[in-house]
Structure 1
Amino acid sequence: MDRMGKYIYGIIEERKQKRFDIPGISGGEARPYTIPQGEFSAVVSDGPLEIYENTQENLLAHNRVLETVMKDYDVFPLRFGTVAKTEEEVRELLKMTSDQLSEAIRAVRGKVEYDVEIDVDEKKLLQEVQANSPVIQQIKSLSQGRTVTLDEQIKVGKVVAQELVKEKLALAAFVKNSLSFGIEKITSLRLPRPETLLNLAFLLKKENTPAFENLIQELDQKLEDKLRFKVTGPLPPYHFSELKLLVVDFDRVNEARKDLGLPGETTESEIKKAYRNLAKKFHPDQARGEDQEAEATFRRIDASYKLLSKYCERNPRDRYHFRPEEFGERIILLDRDDPEVVG
């Protein structure tokens, strides 16, 4: 039977125990509830004490709980995959980080996040550039009635590429400036596709959300021939939470070591080497559908490597001995500047 723990979604300001009628990340009958300690409560659900893979199903369940809770509370979201062993450990976590939590929650109180992806229609933009560029028009004018030379074709290609970049930069600056009114903070996120011009996270006060949504709708209508907007929100402030917690214990770290096939004593460079070798073998692009379990195996290897990397980063040593007495039953890692969510 799997060992059970407490999966932690986030922190709210609440002194009493509350329950939420929504399925937790483990599914079944388990429903999220709060574990209070002082002025704060952790929103948790009961589930296996394990490394949670960042599958779409798990991520959606994690986000659904936070979005339900934020209807009634300001939520400080924890990174996906945060698990504690017991209720006592959750309370200890809240005690140990109470000062940091007070500061972090104050920074996001009364605020929500919107994520905005903006894709560019390169075909239409290219047509516009070709029609409006004076240099291209001049070359076309000079070449009327004769065959365009290779040098002229190369020159046109270079001009088009340069003008396309300039037009994209101008569009990006215009959109970003237009959406900045009434915004507390903006951060750029990874571009998910080649055609994505901008991928931005906005932090704003809840009372400003109607105006922000109207502004996006106006921009979408104004630029619909060039840009496509995808808006997600309101959300908990995932990308603006200054305090990030990762709670693990010896069993989790040791399980991650075994996933990478590492011996009981190893180094950081050996951990990286083991991950590279396994990633090369099980990456879905390499498996090409031959092994149906390759993708799941790769996700687990990737999650285990991230866990070990984070442990090494916060506990630098020449060699790592995977024994309980080396670091005790519980590790709590605090990250203020890491923008990525570690699974």
Structure 2
Amino acid sequence: MPTYVYGITGADHPLHLEEVFGVGETPAPLRTVRTGDLTAVVSDAPEGLRAKRRDVQAHQRVLEVLMGDGATLPMRFGLLAPDDEQVASALDAEGDRYRARLGELDGHVEYHLKVSRDEDDLLREIVAESDQVRELRERTRDQPGAHDERVALGELISHEVGARGSAEAEDLSQRLSPAATRLSAGEPSSTHFLNVSFLVPEDGVEDFVQAVERESDQRGDAYTFTLTGPLPPYSFV
């Protein structure tokens, strides 16, 4: 039976898992795989495992308990190994890297920030600041059949939206980075120009959250800040 892996800790990490169970319709008992100074918390993997709410919550609960007692490398939901022996081999092969990462994550949590901007507000700014956009708008308004001008206008606005979003994302990341140890930038989307995770010291969480709130207040109602955390530091494993 495959082995389901929840997380990796140091061998001296407290394991208060007596009342915690793993994934599966019948919750799986947890066990450990130890090699040297590293421990992997694992269980049997149920057949046909899917990201059901019950199992995702069980995975998260195991990590919450582990992280409550110290640095843990959280594995993403659904990570399987062929058996315990393969888990032990991975701990041996990657031991130096795992130990270094545990040292980096010790005393830290992750916060994930997404920021969007009202589209109409952004378009008003582009029109107000771009002579070329205003000129093309006038042409397409006065000449309904000006197909090439409409295409050019659409391309120009799209370019401006992307460029301004990138610039704002860079500015926000730089402003918030002093309150975090590291950051991991994700890809922007059609709705969010900023998508970034921050590795934050546990004793600096209040300062970080306040820094995010200040940035949100300064930008006003046209911006929507969505801050999620504290989370297991998946983005930094």
CA contact (8 A) 2:113 2:196 kept: yes
Whole-angstrom distance in 2 between the partners of 1:208 and 1:139: 49
Residue 219 of structure 1, CA deviation = 1.7
Percent identity over the alignment? 28
Structure 2 SS opposite 1:115:
strand
1:203 paired with 2:227, answer no
Of stretches 88-97 and 109-118 in structure 1, the one that deviates more from structure 2 is 88-97
DSSP 3-state at the match of 1:129: helix
Q: Is the 8 A contact 2:3 2:80 kept in 1?
A: yes
Residue 234 of structure 2 aligns with which residue?
238
State the Cα distance separating 1:32 from its structure 2 match: 3.7
- 1:139 Cα deviation (Å)? 8.2
* CA-based RMSD: 3.5
Which residue number in structure 2 is paired with residue 227 of structure 1?
Answer: 223
Tell me the equivalent position of 1:82: 79
Q: AA paired with 1:82?
A: L
Aligned residue type for 2:42:
V
1:30 corresponding residue in structure 2: 28
Paired position in structure 1 for 2:164:
167
Preserved CA contact (<8 Å) 2:16 2:66: no
**Residue-by-residue CA offset, 1:292-311 (whole Å, 9 max, x unaligned):** xxxxxxxxxxxxxxxxxxxx
Could you tell me how far 1:11 is from its partner in structure 2?
0.6
| 1:69 maps to 2:66 | yes
- Which residues in structure 2 correspond to 1:43-58 (within 5 Å)? 43-48=41-46, 50=47, 52-54=49-51, 58=55
Matching residue within 206, 210, 213 for 1:214: 210
Q: Is the 8 A contact 1:10 1:66 kept in 2?
A: yes
Whole-angstrom CA distance in 2 between matches of 1:132 and 1:73: 51
SS of the residue corresponding to residue 193 of structure 2 reads strand
Spell out the pairing of 1:1-343 with structure 2 (5 A cutoff): 3=1, 5-15=2-12, 18-19=16-17, 21-48=19-46, 50=47, 52-54=49-51, 58-84=55-81, 90-133=87-130, 148-149=142-143, 154=150, 160-191=157-188, 193-241=189-237
User: How far apart are residue 12 of structure 1 and its match?
Assistant: 1.0
Contact 1:19 1:31 in 2 (8 A): no
Q: Mark the CA change 1:18 to 1:168 in structure 2 (over 3 Å): closer, same or farther.
A: closer
Structure 1 alignment gaps of length 5 or more: 242-343
Q: Give unmatched runs, 5+ long, in structure 2.
A: none
Q: Does the CA contact (< 8 Å) of 1:76 and 1:105 recur in 2?
A: yes
Amino acid at match of 1:173: E
Q: Deviations over 1:231-256 (max 9, x none)?
A: 22222221222xxxxxxxxxxxxxxx
The 1:220/1:89 distance shift into structure 2, 3 A limit, reads same
The structure showing larger relative contact order (alpha-carbon pairs under 8 Å, at least 6 residues apart) is: 2
Residue aligning to 1:341: none
C-alpha spacing 1:156/1:239, structure 2 compared with 1 (3 Å):
closer
Number of positions where the alignment pairs a residue of Structure 1 with one of Structure 2: 232
Conservation of the 8 A alpha-carbon contact between 2:136 and 2:149? no
Q: Deviations over 1:268-320 (max 9, x none)?
A: xxxxxxxxxxxxxxxxxxxxxxxxxxxxxxxxxxxxxxxxxxxxxxxxxxxxx
Q: 1:167 to 1:92 in 2, by over 3 A?
A: closer
SS of 2:101's partner is helix
TM-score calculated relative to the size of structure 1: 0.56
The alpha carbon displacement at 1:136 in A equals 5.8
